[in-house]
């Protein structure tokens, strides 16, 4: 066959095509497959007395993950995993609820100001997440207006701050992830076919029915992207709970970080990482299956 | 076929009272008043931008009039939102819900009103049957052809038993052949159901084919309202004469008895209201003959003749009149003969 003026065969072309795949293949192999497999291998190893990795095959790390420790069974690790799942779900949900009005507001602006509003959503990203989180520490401190207001209303003991607390973690998480839901949702809302909304109105639909039948299905592609971009990183987030949650509000991200730094227990850290990965994949699988009856295209 | 859902209403009507619609500085409708008797096939005809779709959307409740009222059977609809008006719309794009099947689309309005499940089923079955959609009931809109989608849109609106059905250029997306078929079906459907249909179109052939009455619109105003033959045979303005079919417009002066055209005197059936203005005659009403007619005869020469199969068309000089006649005997350019502009075919325009 002739390919761009050159006489060749499909097999030759195929072989040449493989060369173009090489950079991506090396990338994935080096940064995903090998580390991933190392993590699996590591999770079956043991911690030595000085924090080194001892290559004995053992299921001890997974027993610990399920809560069996030196002092018998305790629900702590499972609690941390479930709490992480819960925080990620609540964060995603609140981001969705906040992002809908925001996306519609931005999409309904005249084109000239629309991108200004969009820029305002993106600008916080120009600041590092750690710095933004420290900023929240200050904003939620005892002598700042938010805490003062809560103290005045009797919701907070005098001279105490709003951080560290679960609330502070949620505030930090939601503000960090909101743009990840707003952006893809906005792109769906911008392309909305409003004649469907008019048709629903014409066919006696209430506002709620109009939203769920004429608008919601059209925003599903953007919403799906937003959920994936929020839920997965929220599951593993450790900067925000570390800085805003305090010692009593550990999430799985903190647990993993502790194993690799403070405790120097890499094998257990690897096992917890894999546990997190499995949980995230299960969550996505559930979403994917439930989304099957909805046309995502 | 199936009997009408409801006995046809009579006498009661839709009344548009001095409706004005402004979009910023632009006046889309400048005070339109209309009475549509129940059970009529009424057409709003006009070029794009004449305000016909805006008027339809005001009736549907999708647009709020700046001034004026929409009254249906004595009830003022103006303050009601679209979802509380007893009217339904067939949208130009059909606006079918892409994630719902044909059956679910048709049931949409019924479910919105929380109708009893059995009644929903009965009406959906009726709608599917009425528009021959049974084989497609479980399909999604993107699996249907344009004509099928249009029938789904019609069924979805009709099963609600609206008092008025609004149709916004429902045939513009269909090809010419299918359009002609659908026009006949639509007319038949309207007569069977005895419902009031209000159609918006820019296609004068379509308007003539389906309507009981036509409202010709121009720049936010009603130009002329009447039955298709009234509007065609007795256009009142140059715009009406030219928008519906072809017309010869002759400018001239009023005489004590008749009319002074550039090419001679003509007798008229009525006295013009002006001193100088236009009379119109349809090309097919001009009569050609070898002998001099008794009245309004002109000696003419054929400047150009075009054979069109079903008829032939010719331009005559020196009077610059267009004629449409039977295809035989074939006219030749340069041929000389007599043209008669019959008195009853000459229409005096208002301007």
B105-143: pLDDT as tens digits: 999 999 999 999 999 999 999 999 999 999 999 999 999
pLDDT in tens, B38-65: 999 999 999 988 999 999 999 999 999 9
* Confidence band for A291, pLDDT divided at 50, 70 and 90: low
Can you tell me the ipTM of this complex? 0.82
Both tokens of A111, joined, read 């084109």
Which of A199, A207, A213 to mutate to test binding with chain B, by most B CBs within 10 Å of its CB?
Answer: A199
Provide the sign of the torsion angle of the four alpha carbons B127, B130, B133, B134, taken in this order.
positive
**Shortest alpha-carbon distance between residue A181 and chain B (Å):** 23
Cis preceding linkage at A164, omega within 30: yes
Question: Which residues are CB-contacts of B57 (< 8 A; sequence separation ≥ 6)?
Answer: B63, B168
DSSP 3-state helix, strand, coil percentages of chain B (rounded to 5)? 30, 35, 40
pLDDT in tens, B240-280: 998 988 888 888 888 888 888 888 888 888 888 888 889 99
Report how far apart, in Å, the C-alpha atoms of A176 and of each of A170, A180, B8 are.
10, 8, 62
A295/B156 CB distance under 8 A: no
The pLDDT value given to residue A102: 94
- Beta carbons of B109 and A204 less than 8 angstroms apart: yes
Unique residue bearing structure tokens 């038993």: B161
Q: Which residues of A touch B (CB under 8 A)?
A: 193, 195-196, 198-206, 209-210, 213-214, 217, 294-295
Which of A188, A204, A205, A206 to mutate to test binding with chain B, by most B CBs within 10 Å of its CB?
Answer: A204
* Confidence band for A295, pLDDT divided at 50, 70 and 90: very low
pLDDT in tens, A92-104: 999 999 999 999 9
How do beta strands B164-168 and B196-201 pair?
parallel
- pLDDT of residue B4 exceeding 70, the answer is no
Percent of the residues in chain B that have a pLDDT greater than 70, as a whole number: 97
Say how many CB pairs under 8 Å bridge A and B: 70
Percent of the residues in chain B that have a pLDDT greater than 90, as a whole number: 54
Task: State the pTM of this model.
Answer: 0.78
The pLDDT value given to residue B253: 86
Which of B83, B98, B168 to mutate to test binding with chain A, by most A CBs within 10 Å of its CB?
Answer: B83
| Residues of chain B neighbouring A202 (CB-CB closer than 8 A) | 60-62, 82-83, 87-89, 91, 109, 157
| Residues of chain A neighbouring B83 (CB-CB closer than 8 A) | 200-206, 210
Mean per-residue pLDDT of chain A: 88
* Confidence band for B12, pLDDT divided at 50, 70 and 90: low
Q: Which of A195, A206, A294 lies closest to B93 in CB terms?
A: A195
Query: Distance (Å, rounded) from C-alpha A61 to C-alpha A274?
Result: 11
- pLDDT of residue A86 exceeding 90, the answer is yes
Both tokens of A196, joined, read 């469907």
Pick A3 or B187 by higher pLDDT.
B187
Average pLDDT over residues B218-234: 92
Q: Residue B298: left if φ>0, alpha if ψ -120 to 50, beta else—which one?
A: beta
Query: Distance (Å, rounded) from C-alpha B126 to C-alpha A32?
Result: 59
């Amino acid at each position: 066959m002739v390919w761009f003026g050159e006489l060749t065969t499909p097999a030759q072309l195929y072989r040449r095509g493989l060369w173009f795949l090489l950079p991506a293949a090396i990338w994935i192999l080096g940064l995903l497959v090998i580390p991933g497999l190392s993590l699996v291998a590591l999770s079956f190893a043991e911690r030595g007395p000085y924090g080194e990795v001892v290559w004995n095959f053992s299921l001890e790390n997974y027993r610990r993950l399920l809560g069996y420790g030196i002092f018998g069974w305790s629900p702590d690790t499972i609690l941390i995993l479930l709490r992480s799942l819960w925080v990620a779900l609540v964060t995603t949900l609140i981001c969705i609820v906040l992002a809908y009005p925001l996306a519609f507001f931005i999409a309904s602006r005249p084109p000239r100001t629309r991108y200004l509003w969009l820029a305002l959503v993106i600008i916080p990203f120009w600041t590092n997440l750690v710095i933004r989180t420290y900023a929240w520490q200050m904003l939620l401190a005892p002598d700042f207006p938010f805490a003062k207001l809560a103290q005045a209303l009797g919701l907070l003991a005098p001279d105490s701050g709003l951080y560290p607390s679960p609330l502070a973690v949620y505030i930090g998480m939601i503000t960090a992830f909101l743009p990840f839901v707003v952006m893809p949702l906005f792109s769906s809302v911008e392309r909305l076919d409003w004649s469907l909304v008019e048709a629903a109105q014409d066919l006696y639909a209430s506002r709620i029915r109009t939203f769920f039948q004429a608008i919601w299905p059209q925003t599903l592609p953007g919403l799906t992207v937003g959920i994936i971009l929020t839920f997965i990183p929220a599951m593993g987030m450790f900067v925000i709970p570390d800085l805003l949650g305090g010692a009593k509000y550990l999430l799985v991200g903190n647990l993993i970080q502790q194993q690799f730094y403070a405790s120097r227990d890499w094998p257990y850290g690897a096992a917890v990482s894999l546990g997190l990965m499995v949980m995230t994949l299960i969550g996505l699988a559930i979403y994917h299956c439930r989304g099957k009856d909805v046309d995502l295209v | 076929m199936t009997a009408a859902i409801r006995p046809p209403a009579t006498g009661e009507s839709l009344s548009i009272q001095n409706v004005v619609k402004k979009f910023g500085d632009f006046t889309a409708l400048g005070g339109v008043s209309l009475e549509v008797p129940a059970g009529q096939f009424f057409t709003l005809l006009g070029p794009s931008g004449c305000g016909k779709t805006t008027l339809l959307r005001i009736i549907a409740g999708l647009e709020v009039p700046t001034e004026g009222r929409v009254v249906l059977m004595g009830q003022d609809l103006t303050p009601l939102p679209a979802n509380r008006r007893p009217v339904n719309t067939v949208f130009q794009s059909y606006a079918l819900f892409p994630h719902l099947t044909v059956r679910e689309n048709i049931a949409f309005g019924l479910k919105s009103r929380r109708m009893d499940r059995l009644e929903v089923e009965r009406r959906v079955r009726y709608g599917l049957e009425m528009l021959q959609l049974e084989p497609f009931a479980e399909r999604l809109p993107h699996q249907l052809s344009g004509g099928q989608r249009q029938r789904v849109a019609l069924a979805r609106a009709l099963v609600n038993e609206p008092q008025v059905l609004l149709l916004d250029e429902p045939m513009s997306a269909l090809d010419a052949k299918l359009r002609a078929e659908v026009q006949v079906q639509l007319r038949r459907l309207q007569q069977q159901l005895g419902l009031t249909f209000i159609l918006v179109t820019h296609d004068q052939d379509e308007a003539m084919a389906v309507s009981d009455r036509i409202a010709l619109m121009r720049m936010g105003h009603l130009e002329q309202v009447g039955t298709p033959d009234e509007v065609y045979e007795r256009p009142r303005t140059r715009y009406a004469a030219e928008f519906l079919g072809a017309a010869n417009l002759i400018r001239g002066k009023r005489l004590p008895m008749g009319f002074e055209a550039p090419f001679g005197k003509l007798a008229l059936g009525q006295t013009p209201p002006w001193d100088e203005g236009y009379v119109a005659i349809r090309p097919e009403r001009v009569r050609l003959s070898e002998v001099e007619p008794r009245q309004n005869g002109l000696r003419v020469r054929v400047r150009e003749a075009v054979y069109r199969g079903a008829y032939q068309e010719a331009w005559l000089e020196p009077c610059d009149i267009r004629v449409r006649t039977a295809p035989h005997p074939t006219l030749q350019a340069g041929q000389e003969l007599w043209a008669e502009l019959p008195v009853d075919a000459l229409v005096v325009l208002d301007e």
